[in-house]
Structure 1
Amino acid sequence: MKPIPFRDVHLDFHTSEFIGDVGVDFDPEEFAHTLINAHVNTICIFARCHHGYCYYPTKVGVVHPGLKRKDLLGEMIEVLKTHKISVGVYTTVAWDELNARLHPEWRQVKPDKSLVETGYWKWLCLNSPYADWVEAHIRELLSNYQFDRFFIDIVMQWFDGCVCDYCLSDMEKSMLNPENPSDRRIQAIQVQRRFMKRMKSIVEEYDPEIAVYFNRSWILSANPDASLRKDLEYYSYVSIESLPTGGWGYNHFPLIAHYLMNKGIPLQSLTGRFHKSWGDFGGLKSKAALEYECLRVAVRGIRVGVGDQLHPRGRLDQATYRLIGYVYSQIERLEPWLKDTEPVADIGILIANGTGPEGVLGTDLSSEEGAMRILMELGHQFLILDEWDDFSKFKLLILPDHVYLSEELTDKLERFLEVGGRIIASYFSGLSQKTGEPILRDWPIRSIRRSRYSLNYLRPIADKLGLDVEVYDYALYEPAAYVEAVPGAEVLAKV
């Protein structure tokens, strides 16, 4: 795989067909030197946008009607290569307004039979003949241009499943019930993975050295069918899209990063120069904000990326690149200590989501986030784990709130305890997936049941929790659990 440098700009260009004079102010040398002066050494540029239009001569798609340059993509690639700036090429998949209008039969359909649409964008089905169109588009790019990595965006089926004619036919062949939400979710995941496998093989056919990433929303899950671990088979690297002020929040990046950091795959993370989210032309972060967002990525040994959107006339904004340069100059000086690093952690947080009755439909990561925030605030080194990780490197495993145990995970935890490992389990963690009862040997509780009250109180036992914890009836603002301890177990507090 071609190396991925450390300081990236992800340059969006989602430009309506009603905008004219597209690219009219583009100056190749000014473009390159603006990036160089900002200490940028790799950039992802656009071949096609969410409006469905291409920015290069195409026989497969449609050139943007307002484009004033013969081959904007080609000009960018040429000048970037001249100045030894690594080139990534961007294209979009499920969000494609033009093909949604031309081929409404390719659109994704919700279980209630309405068409899938979010915000500005209509969703196309990756299981329809649209996948053939995308293949032709990708082959065209690979045939005509030389570049280093491929960022293929919005590789997503609707979370609750698509029930278009193509997906219904597929589900019938796979013995999946379209009336069952879990079956619809499994179908959606399978469609995404088939699409990624197909497109990855096409890229490798042309140039196996091109790094490929398929971007979509990520939800950590320990369910075997929904685990992100399986998706990693189709990626050359992972770009963690995480704009803290753009809807992702400040917990999203560390949660995903601490899961991926020990998976043996190159990592990058994307924040944005925007105050809000993508396409926020009037938003420019403060130096302190962008500095914090980039440095918290870099100190984890993860490549840094900043999202920008090019003005339709094709000229980079100088204030934006002075801001990026301020941060990237610092990261450039730190790079010798950031490259080729490995995480060193002795605490692991097991993923709870997907282990319980929610199965493949699980999306709640509040327990994992809570454990993560405690450890970050205390300054402890940790990773996020699932049952397929190697536990032998850790001294302590934390099972937050709802980690239900499969037979395989039970065996691994037993072996972990036998060699001196320690476990902290909260709430209903440690119960069997099959029986709902405690399953680990020498577990200090005999049974556990949910409180029937909406509010409970916790009273610490004197001198058990430290001198700074008062004996007091502390309100628990969510339903508690009643636990029956085995004889000899040490009880620290009572509900």
Structure 2
Amino acid sequence: MKQLIKNGLTIVVLALAFLANAQSSNNWFGENIRRIHMDFHTLEVAPEVAIKSFDAKRYIQTLRDAEVNSLVTFAKGHHGNCYYNTQIGHKHSGLPAETDMLGEIVEEGQKQGMKILAYYSVGWLTPIELNQPEWMERDTLGRKMGTSGSLNETGWNQICLNSPYLEEMVLPELKEITSNYAIDAVWIDIIENNACYCQWCRAKFEEQNGRPYASHEEARLLASDTRYEAVSKMINTVKEIKPEVLISYNTAGRDPRLVPLVDFCSIETHPGATWHQEAWTHSLLTMKYLEQYDKPWESTTSRFIHGWGGWDDQTTENMLAVASRIAAHGGVINLGDQTYPSGELDGEIYRKIGDVFQYIEKMESQSIGATSYPQVGLFATPFDIYAIYGPNPGQLDAYMGAAKALVDRGWHFDLILEGNLPELSQFKAIVLPDVGAISPSSQEALRAYVAQGGKLLVTGNSTFDPQKQTFELADVMGVNFQGMSPYSVGYLDLKEEISDGLRKSLLLTPGKFFEVTPKEGAQSLGDHVYPLIEPKAEELFFFRNAQLSPPGKKSSSAGIVSHRYGEGQVVYAAAPIFRVYLAEDQWYLKGVADNLLKHMDVTRDVEVLDAPQSVEMYLRQKDGNLVINLVNYFLHKETNQVEDEVPLYDLTLRVSKQLVKNDKPKIFGSSTGYTMEETTEDYLITLDQLDMYAQVVFALQ
């Protein structure tokens, strides 16, 4: 398999050589955060209408009036139509010979101070699928494949990147666009290829290895290397002509291996979309995920309710809530729209977008260039941030559950990924949410962290080695593994010291418990109680639920264990409480997690007092200041969208005096004023009013 990665190494070297130049000129990307991603996947239909009303000056003025300062605009869309004067591809027939849509948008946009990114579709092209089917990806049965290997009879299937397509069409067109237009960046779409069994992939593998595929895994690895090579070639094509032009692709950041090649990361999230009910939590995890890279990043969303080109629109409040969360994390708001087939924009929509971007503009001076101020670390083993859209979305439940539980309870956190661990001592506590076995280097780092005074909250199978049938950090956690519970569900019976704010009866936890006993010196904080019978049993229908069961007898194992190790402390919950919290809607389990952090005396430098869970707090630092971002939104009980702005009044922040200087804070955003008091240890700042988004800025000590 080593030969699989040899092809393209020269290309990689070239790409990395251009990287330094690209990084030195990409500051504008993260500074122009009010972006529109302007789709224009337009068929050649209704010739009397198509692109007959395009006027570049009016088009750009509409965007500028809405405070847009960067634009992703089409060079080529999914239907194979080019929107520029091409000598290689097919120019959309609706464009008159004298009209160069891309060129006019670039010229007029840059006159008005906008940065222009040229969109180019790679993986989906309907003319290729119809006219050159031999270039399409194929599964083991020779069938065409769409995204994630799906079988799509209606189109949108993937073109193979090992076919002649890349060399004969993609690279020449990218060269043409870069050479002929003063674009600021290239934005590539649809490069997530599949394990492919087409003639081109089979031939490439046999040339490299002297034999056919022996397994599907070999086909998958070839696809991964093919994607790497294709991205490298596209980058080199652009950079050889204009090194200052940035380039990246949709999903950049998903595969860490490709991140060093690109100038920025870009991942889609769609809070408020009808087709993705968990998008609010997934978008939060995605932003935390992108922050791990030393790259500017954007979160691509859209103004539509039903997905791209839906021709409906979200409420202004929903778009503002989405934009506020992105800005609060230091990202670029890449808000999707679609030009009408006539070539016109919807003025009413841009009045709404203008309201959103005017609001964000007031806040962005404190957002751009800010970095997270660490408090709690959320530890993760490598995972696919796009798994939510695949056949096994549940693999993200533990991380999404932990993210939601922490932010709902007012804990600011950062995602820390195995293989890219920061300095752990900066975190007041680290949470391991059902992460499974971890690497020896992670074991060593976490053991040292606790020994030197760190706090760990460990749940479920975290650090469990199924081969050795033991926890890799058993000595740190203070537990002896006895086996797995014979039941698929269980109950927690909490001790008084960790039951604050929770009901005092047994708490159903619909997940399989690890049976553990405390080591010498460790303390049980709660018992594990069995269900009366296994929920799958026929008898359970007597209780009217085929998945759950009433409580039975107390087990001989502990449900929660606390242990001091060195100068630090670990609490272990023997059930997958974060996964269960998200997947099974057991709302009280986030209260359990909150109480376990408090039990370890994990202190908060900043706390919002007595606030509803509609308030999310994100801590940033910039230019010697602490920036406290407060985002306040309520989701409609049926639509999962923000339909109204609901102000909060007399909201109090507690800020540690050890953290900030004795200066009056600056307030940005929706608050109309504040009062400030102090205690021996803290400053208390009471905001008169919090609408959707506000920032409270202190000078750090």
Which TM-score applies when normalising by structure 2?
0.65
Task: Identify the match of residue 410 of structure 2 among 365, 370, 379.
Answer: 379
Q: What corresponds to 1:10 in structure 2?
A: 37
**SS of aligned partner of 1:244:** coil
Letter in 2 for 1:165: Q
- The alignment covers a number of residue pairs equal to 480
Please name the residue that 2:288 is paired with.
Answer: 258
After TM superposition, give the deviation of residue 147 of structure 1 in Å: 0.7
**Does structure 1 residue 37 correspond to structure 2 residue 68?**
no
Distance in 1, Cα, partners of 2:162 & 2:115: 33
Question: Which deviates further from its counterpart, 377-386 or 236-245?
Answer: 236-245
Amino acid at match of 1:455: V
Q: Gaps spanning 5+ residues in structure 1: where? A: 220-227
Deviations along 1:110-138, one digit per CA (max 9) or x if unpaired, are 23432113464121111221111211111
SS in 2 for 1:375: helix
Aligned residue among 192, 199, 217 for 2:227: 192
| 2:518 paired with 1:485 | yes
Taking the aligned partners of 1:412 and 1:199, their CA distance within structure 2 comes to: 39
Structure 2 runs not aligned, ≥5 long: 1-24, 147-151, 529-701
Relative to its length, the structure with more strand (as a share) is 2
Structure 1 residues 30 and 169: alpha-carbon distance in aligned structure 2, compared to 1, 3 A threshold: same
Note if 1:438 corresponds to 2:474. Answer: no
- Match of residue 188, structure 2, among 128, 138, 152: 152
Q: Distance in 2 between matches of 1:464 and 1:432?
A: 31
User: Secondary structure, in 3 states, of the residue corresponding to 1:335?
Assistant: helix
For the 8 Å contact 1:449–1:481, the answer to whether it is kept is: yes
Contact preservation (8 Å) 1:351, 1:403: no
Cα displacement (A) at 1:395: 2.6
The superposition leaves residues 61-116 of structure 1 with CA deviations (integer Å, 9 ceiling, x where unpaired) of 11123333531111111111222211110001111111222221111112343211
* 2:486 corresponds to: 452
Q: Decide whether aligned partners of structure 1 residues 482 and 19 sit closer, same or farther in structure 2, where only a CA change above 3 A counts.
A: farther
1:141 counterpart = 2:141: no
Residue 14 of structure 1 aligns with an amino acid whose one-letter code is H
Amino acid at match of 1:368: Y
Tell me which residue corresponds to 1:309: 338
Instruction: Give 1:442 deviation, angstroms.
Output: 2.9
Q: What are the within-5 Å matches in structure 2 for residues 388-399 of structure 1?
A: 388-392=420-424, 393-399=426-432
Q: CA deviation at 1:36?
A: 1.2
Cα pair distance change 1:415/1:33, threshold 3 Å: same
Cα distance, 1:180–1:139 mapped onto 2, change above 3 Å: same
Q: Name 2:136's counterpart in structure 1.
A: 107
Please tell me whether the aligned partners of residues 241 and 269 of structure 1 are also in contact (alpha carbons under 8 angstroms). Answer: yes
Deviation, structure 1 residue 151: 0.6
Aligned CA distance change for structure 1 residues 254 and 181 (closer, same or farther; 3 Å): farther
Q: CA deviation at 1:190?
A: 2.0
SS at match of 1:491: strand
Equivalent residue, structure 1, for 2:156: 121
CA separation of 1:127/1:433 partners in 2, compared to 1, >3 Å: closer, same or farther?
farther
SS, match of residue 333 in structure 2: strand
One-letter code aligned to 1:402: V
SS in 2 for 1:276: coil
Q: Secondary structure at the match of 1:47?
A: strand
- Alignment match of 2:454 (pick from 409, 421, 429): 421
Contact 2:490–2:509, Cα closer than 8 Å, also in 1: yes
Shift in Å, 1:306: 1.1
User: For residues 296-316 of structure 1, what are the alpha-carbon distances to aligned partners after superposition, in whole Å with 9 as ceiling and x for unaligned?
Assistant: 111112121211000111011
**Partner residue in 1 for 2:309:** 279
Aligned to 2:509: 476
Sort the Cα spacing of 1:397 and 1:96 in 2 relative to 1 into closer, same or farther, 3 A: same
Q: Give 1:448 deviation, angstroms.
A: 5.4
SS state of the match for residue 379, structure 1? coil
Which of the pair has more CA radius of gyration?
2
Residue identity opposite 1:273 in structure 2? R
For 1:224, the equivalent position in structure 2 comes to none
Contact 1:352 1:368 (C-alpha < 8 Å) held by counterparts? no
For residues 388-435 of structure 1, give each alpha carbon's deviation from its aligned partner in whole angstroms, at most 9, with x where no partner exists. Answer: 221333232111113311222222222222322221110010123753
Between 70-79 and 8-17, report the one with greater CA deviation.
Answer: 70-79
Counterpart AA for 1:293: V
Match of 2:370 in 1: 341
The structure with higher relative contact order (CA 8 Å, sep 6+) is 1
Q: Which moved more, 1:101-110 or 1:312-321?
A: 101-110
Q: 1:100 to 1:216 in 2, by over 3 A?
A: farther
